[in-house]
Amino acid sequence: MNWFVVVPIIAAKFLLPVALIWFPFEAGWLNFILDTQDGDLLIPAGLGGGVVADLNHLYQNIDKAADYVTYIFMVVAAWKWPVRKWIIGLFLLRTVGQAAYFITQNELMFLFFPNFLEPLFLICATILRFDRNDPWDHFYRHKVLYASIIFVYKMQDEVLTHLINFDRSDAISSLFN
């Protein structure tokens, strides 16, 4: 295992979410990118995949634990936002999914309890970052559009990731070969 790759990436996955409190936009999107790419870095570095099923299990559990830390800090960061009740509700929904996954080790739990929290948080953080006049008025005027985008995006993501186990990185890299 390449510890010089594995340790900093895992540390970043657990420490970056703390920055959501002060920098919700920047830390939110950096965390999203890291979570999207971590498997492409950690698995070749020896944490998961290959013929060692225990390492893949270890990677999945570390990844899901880090995701949950992120969800906790999203709730903390959004505590004073007017959408706090939605954030907390979606956090509780995903908490059920996280608990069910850790108990069963079945990834389908994430399909049954989708992560709508993260895209809602990112949309709100982005609006807050760029709409200095009245960001919550903007959000509420377009809430049906945002809810539709979140639902469609996240359901296709959960299906591809946890039901079909489609690897987007391999698909994208095959376009360039």
Q: How many domains does the chain have?
A: 1
Query: Is 7 a residue whose pLDDT tops 70?
Result: yes
Read off the pTM: 0.91
- Quote the CA–CA distance of 102 and 114 in Å, as a whole number: 15
- The Cβ of residue 158 has, within 10 Å, a number of other Cβ atoms equal to 20
pLDDT at 132: 82
For 115-172, write each residue's pLDDT tens digit.
999 999 999 999 999 988 899 999 999 999 999 999 999 999 999 988 887 776 677 6
Q: Note down the domain range covering 142.
A: 3-175
For 24-65, write each residue's pLDDT tens digit.
999 999 999 999 998 888 888 888 755 555 666 788 899 999
- Which position has the token pair 């993501």? 157
pLDDT at 169: 67
How large is the angle between the packed helices 117-130 and 84-104, nearest 10 degrees? 150
- Name which of 11, 4, 52, 33 is nearest 118 in CA terms: 33
- The Cβ of residue 41 has, within 10 Å, a number of other Cβ atoms equal to 15
